[in-house]
Amino acid sequence: MRATCLGWLVAVVLYQLLLLTVTEAQVADDYLVADLPDLSPEDAAQLKQYAGHIALDPARESNLFFWMVTNRHPQNGSKLIIWLNGGPGCSSADGYFLESGPLRFVDKKLTINKGGWHEFANVVFLDQPVGTGLSYTSQQLLGSLPEITDHFLAFLKAFFQIFPERAQDDLYLAGESYAGTYIPYFARGILDHNGNVPKDDVAYNLKGLAIGNGWIDPLHQYTSYIPYIVQHGISTPDLLDELVSQQDRCLDDIRLHDRISQNRCEDLVQTILQHSVTTDLSPMCTNQYDIRLVDEYPSCGLLWPNELPQMKEYLTRNDVKAALHANGAILPWTECSTRVSSALRFDDSMPAISLLPAILDRVNVLLFSGDKDLICNHIGTEYLISNMTWQDTKGFQDAPAIPWMVDNEPAGLWRQDKNLTYVLLYNASHMVPYDAPLAALDMMNRFMGLDPRMQTFTSHLDTDTSENQNLPPGGEKVDIGQPKRSFFSANVAAVLLLVMIAVGIGIFVVVRKNQQQKKLGDAHDGIQWFPLSNSRSSVRGREPVHTDELDELVIESAIHDSEDEYHDDDDERTFGSQDRRV
């Protein structure tokens, strides 16, 4: 009897300790990062950070890891950016240490990133879905975008309960690559939440979405590879011939079943990479995330950036995990989880482009692209915009391309119409802030409506005047001319023109709207879609195409025509391919 009572008493004490732990974990100060290993006291004094796991269910079986750095100099109201890397299954530690975060590895040492987005905003780097980075679950991994969205909304609710002052911030969702799929789904979830706020919750002040080199619209991204490699001079006749046949098969698959990713369509990039292999003793190939670089075959970019090994070593250290309150992580940190991507292999959710037009009715959206990225290249984003209808208008219409300077160097081009902004960044890869940290910071600050004159570096848009410098780019209609255009040689220009026209014909056959089969809720709402027919792309001119069909098509390739306009500085695994879209 005494043993039974003692056992009961021990159980009660353990239960009370568990409750105490759970209660304490909901206090903001318990997430404070007091001493980050290897960071100098001088640099640490510039940062205030919080990190740890937030439980998504009462049993605490699913936990998302976040890492927040607070703003240094708030202006125009407090802003909160939630940064997401892609994959699916790639850790947002990429964003923290390689892109928009406060720290970088320089000469194998942690140092302050002068392009960190925390200068004027609070920034949260979130490992999601569960199983990504330091996030974990004892349950089955998620297999669909609606499930992942539910988890994200559960995270928001818990996060704002722990940090109630952040619930008043203007909220921006930002990320790159496969985050171009996550972010529109999360935005729709937030807007639905705000339309019917539960009694124990608050509305979220969603102000904008910022997506870099985004995997938003598979149809137009898959059909962008041919014109991209032609424009950038990395094509051959044999390669083009093989790609055209593959693209035909790819479009057939899309007609049968519109999905976020298509296995046979993924072969397009693999074919390009295989044709780029050198015959040296150590075979090298084009880096699919930065065409200026080469990598060992068959990695072709999976070993890039060079800081990845150091980042992995750092995040698997016990003292680092303890400082980040992340000791509960079940598996060692890896950059990209193949388990997470495999769980989403058969996700039948519609591509995120189906959600974007309705979101644009209510929220500002920034799409930006580094011009040196192949896998989610800028031409695909430009095709997306040209063929999307939002607020009763298709494409950008007469919106000009506006030159942009950062630190007295050409940084890129801007286009803006209504509440959609598109930015093409020069000399930037798949991970834009990695190559152009100051330009990326200036871009985000302008998008959030912050005053660029408060920055520690100079920047300029042709729309900048003493009256409107503190407005987002393109905030007012400005009558300026198109930027000066330069041209390729006659032969290259002719080849490019023929290929672009031919690919445009192929895209039109695919995206032509089927008036008799308009899909509601489960189709590309707001853009031209395609009938389920046997039409095939006519890149090689095999089939006649009526010119009246071309009159309806808007094809915008790169909004600059040649690299002469600016100075050229000479493990995300999806659905069984060798790609990783971070």
- The dihedral built from the CA positions of residue 253, 254, 257 and 260, taken in this order, carries a sign that is positive
Which residue has better confidence, 562 or 154?
154
Higher pLDDT, 75 or 192: 192
pLDDT in tens, 72-86: 887 778 999 999 999
Mean per-residue pLDDT, 148-156: 97
Handedness of CA 374, 124, 112, 333 (dihedral sign): negative
Terminal-to-terminal C-alpha distance of the chain? 60
- What local confidence, expressed as pLDDT, does residue 95 receive? 98
The average pLDDT across 389-394 equals 93
The 10 Å Cβ neighbour count of residue 309 is: 11
Banded model confidence at residue 323, pLDDT cuts 50, 70, 90 = very high
Among all chains, which residue has been given the structure tokens 């006749």? 237
What is the pLDDT, as a whole number, of residue 566? 39
Q: Residue 287 has what DSSP assignment? A: E
* Residue % of the chain over a pLDDT of 90: 68
pLDDT exceeds 50 at position 53: yes
pLDDT, one tens digit per residue, over 157-179 is 999 999 999 999 999 999 999 99
Query: Which residue type, as a one-letter code, is found at position 16?
Result: Q
**187 has a pLDDT exceeding 60:** yes
Q: Considering the chain, what percentage of its residues have pLDDT values greater than 70?
A: 75
Out of 103-117, 348-362, 470-484, pick the least confident.
Answer: 470-484
Q: Which segments of 481-525 are extended strands (E)?
A: none
Confidence at residue 318, expressed as pLDDT on a 0 to 100 scale: 96
Rounded to the nearest integer, the mean pLDDT of the chain is 81
pLDDT the model gives residue 73: 83
- Comparing 75-79, 264-268, 570-574, the range with the smallest average pLDDT is 570-574
pLDDT at 489 over 60: no
Q: So what's the pLDDT on residue 522? A: 39
Buried b (16+ CB within 10 A) or exposed e, 349-369: bbbbbbbbbbbbeebbbbbbb
More confident residue, 54 or 537: 54
Does CATH number 3.40.50.1820 belong to domain 32-582?
yes
Q: Looking at the predicted structure, is the pLDDT value of residue 148 above 80?
A: yes
Task: Write down the pLDDT at residue 299.
Answer: 93
Q: What pLDDT sits at residue 500? A: 53
The DSSP bridge pattern shows strands 62-69 and 136-137 to be antiparallel
CB 132 within 8 A of CB 90: yes
Lowest mean pLDDT among 332-346, 353-367, 383-397, 563-577: 563-577
Question: Could you list the active site residues?
Answer: 177, 373, 430
CA-closest candidate to residue 187, choices 82, 96, 68: 82
The answer, yes or no, to whether residue 240 has pLDDT greater than 70, is yes
Q: Is the peptide bond before 146 cis (omega within 30 degrees of 0)?
A: no
The domain ranges of the chain are 32-582
Instruction: Considering only residues 542 and 9, tell me which one the structure prediction assigns the higher pLDDT.
Output: 9
Q: Is the pLDDT of residue 408 over 60?
A: yes
Compute φ and ψ for 365, nearest 5 degrees. -130, 135
Predicted pLDDT at 504: 54
Q: What is the pLDDT at residue 59?
A: 82
Residue type (1 letter), 564: D
Residue 545 — pLDDT band, cuts 50, 70, 90?
very low
Q: Looking at 226-230, 294-298, 363-367, 488-492, which range is the least confident one? A: 488-492
The more confident residue out of 44 and 477 is 44
- 243 three-class SS: helix
**Left if phi > 0, otherwise alpha if psi is -120 to 50, otherwise beta: which for 280?**
beta
Q: Which of 465, 464, 483 is nearest to 473 (CA)?
A: 464
What is the rounded average pLDDT of the residues 290-298? 94
Q: Give the per-residue pLDDT at 510.
A: 44
> Which residue would you say has higher pLDDT here, 83 or 569?
83
**How do residues 424-478 score in pLDDT, each as one tens digit?**
999 999 999 999 999 999 999 999 999 999 999 999 998 754 344 333 332 222 2
Residue 352 scores a pLDDT above 90? yes
> What pLDDT band is residue 580 in, cutting at 50, 70 and 90?
low
> Considering only 85-94, 121-130, 344-353, 541-550, which range has the smallest mean pLDDT?
541-550
| Least confident segment among 432-436, 482-486, 561-565 | 482-486
